[in-house]
């Protein structure tokens, strides 16, 4: 009896089982304790401003704007000196700037005409570009969408919906995150 086909089937079933074990989903709801989000009178909500990169999730954990808007700089060490500047450069374009110690680390200009964001009076929806992570132990890719809005005090709120798939060593992994983050506006 040839045992080789049985071993191959066993390995395939083991990989499938491990992929279910190593998958996760985090889905947060908007907390009742947070401020109400505002609405613009009409058209596109203005989300322009300077915001601290370090924020807090609905569950009370630390989060960074860079996690959803600037995947190309991930991972970057935690710091209180990082800022994100959002500018409306025309009715159809917004510019996202990631600053560390007042030095620009990353910039993105998003176009409404190219479909890179869409908006209404409740907020701005941004497509997160596909980002690949390569290291000695992890190979993964993630993509998603972020919804950005503000409260009466000017703080920025992001609902990031991100999907990730990849391999850790030889173990398949995957996850879906729907996370709310609150980021303070930098007062001048």
Q: pLDDT tens across 89-110, in order?
A: 998 999 999 998 889 989 999 9
Euclidean distance between CA atoms 67 and 166, whole angstroms: 17
Euclidean distance between CA atoms 121 and 118, whole angstroms: 11
pLDDT given for residue 102 in this prediction: 87
Euclidean distance between CA atoms 20 and 170, whole angstroms: 14
Euclidean distance between CA atoms 73 and 37, whole angstroms: 28
pLDDT band at 24 (very low <50, low <70, confident <90, very high): low
Euclidean distance between CA atoms 52 and 96, whole angstroms: 13
pTM (2 decimals)? Answer: 0.76
Tell me which DSSP letter residue 118 carries.
Answer: E
């Amino acid at each position: 009896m040839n045992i080789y086909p049985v071993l191959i089937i066993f390995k395939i079933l083991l990989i499938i089982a491990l992929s279910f074990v190593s998958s996760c989903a985090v889905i947060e709801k908007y907390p009742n304790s947070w401020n109400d989000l505002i609405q613009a009178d009409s058209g596109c909500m203005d989300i322009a401003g300077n915001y601290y990169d370090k924020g807090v999730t609905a569950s009370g954990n630390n989060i960074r704007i860079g996690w959803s808007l600037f995947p190309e700089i991930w991972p970057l060490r935690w710091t209180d000196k990082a800022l994100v500047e959002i500018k409306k450069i025309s009715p159809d374009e917004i510019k996202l700037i990631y600053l560390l110690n007042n030095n620009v680390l990353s910039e993105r200009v998003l176009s409404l005409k190219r479909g890179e964001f869409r908006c209404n009076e409740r907020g701005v929806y941004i497509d997160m570009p596909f980002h690949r992570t390569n290291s000695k132990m992890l190979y993964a890719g993630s993509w998603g969408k972020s919804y950005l809005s503000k409260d009466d005090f000017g703080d920025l709120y992001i609902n990031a919906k991100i999907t990730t798939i990849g391999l850790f060593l030889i173990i398949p992994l995957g996850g879906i995150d729907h996370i709310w983050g609150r980021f303070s506006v930098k007062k001048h």
